[in-house]
Amino acid sequence: MPIEFVCKIKFAEEDEKQKNKQDGDKESLIEESCTPPVKDLAGFANSSSLHGINHIFVSGRLGIRQTLWALAFLTSLALFLYQAAKCAISYLEHPHVTSLNEEATPEMVFPAVTICNINRFRFSALTDADIYHLANLTGLPPKNKDGHKPHDLMYPAPDMQDIFNRTGHQLEEMLKSCNFSGQNCSVEDFSVVS
């Protein structure tokens, strides 16, 4: 539930106007924010979100710390203005011409499309023997799907081509829909690149 705070400030002029009006006549008061207006530069600096300005304008004497902050602030401001002016001048020096040539062709050649999955293998298709051999190739300690180390298991020598063909992602599973130039295309329109 949102809570709303309203602060009403009455001014002397309004008091006089209200006294002059007849009974029963209501006048709304000016609604102001609850923060009192800032009367000095130090108060403004403390309520400002401009970085560093609250360290420069403080109540009291000007000291070494305020001088260093002022120097850093002015240096940063000067460098910002220099860089902004330099970019603006560089932008305005170069002519900008946009040329658009459009050519309508009755028939377009089907483009080369590469569909590549970051995961080389489907984890659901891997057997314990596959995981054992792939772990050996990567230098990881061999474990099966459940994370247990195989004890006295003799897996056959790996056939990497078989592992890739069996556990790799199939285009039939990845290609959900295909449409080119208003005609449907399917898996048969693609070929595997190795």
179 phi and psi angles, rounded to 5 deg: -145, 125
Longest dimension (CA), the chain: 105
Tokens of 99: 């040329």
What are the start-end ranges of the E strands in 25-169?
31-32
In 3D, which of 164, 166, 155, 161 has the Cα closest to residue 133? 155
Per-residue pLDDT, 136? 64
Are residues 47 and 34 in contact, defined by beta-carbon separation less than 8 angstroms?
no
Are residues 130 and 150 in contact, defined by beta-carbon separation less than 8 angstroms?
no
Are residues 155 and 133 in contact, defined by beta-carbon separation less than 8 angstroms?
yes
DSSP H or E run through 31: strand 31-32
Alpha-carbon distance of 174 to 115, in angstroms, equals: 9
In 3D, which of 83, 79, 74 has the Cα closest to residue 53? 74
Q: Write out the chain's pLDDT in tens, 194 residues.
A: 455 555 555 555 555 556 655 445 444 444 444 555 656 777 777 788 887 877 888 777 778 888 898 899 999 999 999 999 999 999 899 888 888 888 888 777 777 777 777 777 777 777 777 777 777 666 666 555 555 555 545 666 677 778 777 887 788 888 888 888 888 888 888 877 76
Per-residue pLDDT, 28? 45
Query: Structural domain boundaries of the chain?
Result: 1-92, 123-187
Per-residue pLDDT, 83? 98
Total-model pTM: 0.32
